[in-house]
């Protein structure tokens, strides 16, 4: 019986020894486990800068307003929406009574000229008599001559003002454009200062863009273009230095001169705004990892070592993301086999051909 117990004890210790030996032999096998296989793609360059799509509308700095400069009936008026050429008649007031008044003033001027001529001639005649005429008489004729001259100048001034009023009874288009609004009706008696119509010139259009303050900087040179026409760059005319307190938008006014903009006043447009930004690159869609702590990619260096690089997602483009980060064009990021990766881990590219 003691012999059997001895055999069992030796067998137990032998089994424990065998287990220890096998465990020790297995450790090197775990240490040389193969590196994870991954697929990679290269980061692409982005030449267009930091892009935002902003809402804009066609506007004008001012509308030209025509107002009555005289008290007269409105006899002719084009309806709003009428398109005209430069020099076309767009409104007219009655001139009958002003023409009659002008005729009376012209007759009065003839009389004034005759009076001035007579008084001047008489003054010169008395002056030539020298000591034969008293100084008082000479002074009286001198006064009459000056009064006649003053009356003549007054009539000339009244005629000039009346002719100007008569001329301004007709309203002509200063440029090619459109009658935007009318404020009176034909047959209405207009007093001086009453608005008649407002006029929009075709070459005064501009584009008013409302840009979020968070996306705009006065320190950076922004480039604007129509969304569907990258070649047609829009120049900045002026920037409103006052921000809307409620919406936090700033108004940027773009010059529409020389463009093919045919939109109507108030029509909305989409405009592309871009800033130069060398930290922007194109990232393949499969390379991005979304996380609450921040979006990131797994970058692989020339030795196959993995690094975590955080990126800022700017926009979603067709087939790639536009991101801002320390990545450069040509850098490689892992697109397949990302599960379980750790920083500084060595990986192996699955094929010799990298995905683009």
pLDDT at 30: 46
Least confident of 12-26, 35-49, 145-159: 12-26
Give the 3-state secondary structure of the chain. Answer: CHHHHHHHHHHHHHHHHHHHHHHHHHHHHHHCCCCCEEEEEECEECCCCEEEEEEEEEECCCCEEEECCCCEEEEEECCCCCEECCCCEEEEECCHHHHHHHHHHHHHHHHHHHHHHHHHHHHHHHHHCHHHCCHHHHHHHHHHHHHHHHHHHHHHHHHHHHHHHHHCCEEECCCCEEEEEECCCCCCEECCCCEEEEEEEHHHCEEEEEEEHHHCCCCCCEEEEECCEEEEEEEEEEECCCCCCCCCEEEEEEECCCCCCCCCCCCEEEEEEEECCCCEEEEEHHHCECCCCCCEEEEECCCCEEEEEECEEEEEECCEEEEECCCCCCCEEEEECCCCCCCCCECEECCCCCEC
- State both tokens at 42: 């290269």
Query: Looking at the predicted structure, is the pLDDT value of residue 247 above 80?
Result: yes
Burial environment of residue 74 by CB neighbours within 10 A (0 to 12, 13 to 18, 19 or more): buried
Let me know: does 155 contact 101? Beta carbons within 8 Å. no
* pLDDT for the residue numbered 2: 46
What does the pLDDT read at residue 138? 80
What pLDDT band is residue 140 in, cutting at 50, 70 and 90? confident
Q: Which domains does the chain have, with CATH numbers?
A: 37-49+278-349 (2.40.420.20), 52-60+205-275 (2.40.30.170), 67-200 (no CATH)
For residue 259, what pLDDT band results from cuts at 50, 70 and 90? low
Is residue 82 scored above 60 in pLDDT?
A: yes
Q: Percentage of the chain surpassing pLDDT 70?
A: 86
Strands lying side by side in the sheet with 348-349: 306-310, 296-300, 332-336, 37-42, 348-349
Residue 5's pLDDT is 52
pLDDT confidence of 110, banded at 50, 70, 90?
Answer: very high
Question: Who has greater pLDDT, 351 or 348?
Answer: 348
Residue 159, pLDDT score: 96
Mean pLDDT of 200-227: 82
Of residues 127 and 88, the one with the higher pLDDT is 88
288, 297 Cβ separation under 8 angstroms: yes
CA distance 31 to 24: 12
Q: Are strands 348-349 and 306-310 parallel, antiparallel or unpaired?
A: unpaired
**pLDDT of the residue at 234:** 85
Q: What is the pLDDT of residue 13?
A: 52
Res 222 pLDDT > 90:
no
Which of 31-45, 107-121, 137-151, 333-347 comes out lowest in average pLDDT? 31-45
Question: Average pLDDT of 32-51?
Answer: 81
Is pLDDT at 23 greater than 90 in this prediction? no
Could you report how far apart the first and last alpha carbons of the chain are, in Å?
77
Percent of residues, the chain, with pLDDT higher than 90: 41
| Mean of per-residue pLDDT scores for the chain | 84
The pLDDT tens digits for 52-80 are 888 899 888 889 999 999 999 999 999 99
Q: What confidence tier does 10 reach under pLDDT thresholds 50, 70, 90?
A: very low
Identify which of 187-196, 291-300, 311-320 has the greatest average pLDDT: 187-196
The confidence score (pLDDT) of residue 124 equals 86
Quick check: 85 pLDDT over 70? yes
Q: At residue 356, does pLDDT exceed 80?
A: no
């Amino acid at each position: 019986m003691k012999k059997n117990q001895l055999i069992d004890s030796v067998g137990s210790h032998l089994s424990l020894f065998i287990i220890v030996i096998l465990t020790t032999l297995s450790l090197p096998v775990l240490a040389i486990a193969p590196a994870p296989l991954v697929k990679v793609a290269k980061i692409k360059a982005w030449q267009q800068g930091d892009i935002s799509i902003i809402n804009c509308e066609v506007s004008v700095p001012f509308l030209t307003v025509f107002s009555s400069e005289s008290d007269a009936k409105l006899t002719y008026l084009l309806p709003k929406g009428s398109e005209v050429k430069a020099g076309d008649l767009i409104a007219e007031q009655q001139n009958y009574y002003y023409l009659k008044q002008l005729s009376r003033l012209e007759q009065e001027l003839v009389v004034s000229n005759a009076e001035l001529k007579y008084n001047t001639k008489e003054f010169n005649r008395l002056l030539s008599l020298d000591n034969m005429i008293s100084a008082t008489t000479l002074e009286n004729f001198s006064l009459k001559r000056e009064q006649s001259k003053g009356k003549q100048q007054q009539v000339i001034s009244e005629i000039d003002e009346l002719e100007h009023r008569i001329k301004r009874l007709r309203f002509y288009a200063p440029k090619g454009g459109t009658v935007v609004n009318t404020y009176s009706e034909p047959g209405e008696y207009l007093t001086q200062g009453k608005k008649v119509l407002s006029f929009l010139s075709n070459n005064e259009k501009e584009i008013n863009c409302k840009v979020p303050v968070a996306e705009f900087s006065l320190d950076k040179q922004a480039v604007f273009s129509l969304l569907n026409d990258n070649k047609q760059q829009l120049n900045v005319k002026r920037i409103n230095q006052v921000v809307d307190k409620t919406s936090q938008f700033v108004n940027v006014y773009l010059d529409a001169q020389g463009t093919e903009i045919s939109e109507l006043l108030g029509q909305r447009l989409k405009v592309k705004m871009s800033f130069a930004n060398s930290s922007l690159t194109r990232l393949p869609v499969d390379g991005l990892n979304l996380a609450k702590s921040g979006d990131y990619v797994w970058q692989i260096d020339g030795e196959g070592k993995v690094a975590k690089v955080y990126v800022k997602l700017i926009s979603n483009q067709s087939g790639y993301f536009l991101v801002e980060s320390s990545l450069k064009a040509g850098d490689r990021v892992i697109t397949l086999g990302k599960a379980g990766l750790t920083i500084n881990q060595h990986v192996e590219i699955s094929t010799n051909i990298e995905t683009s």
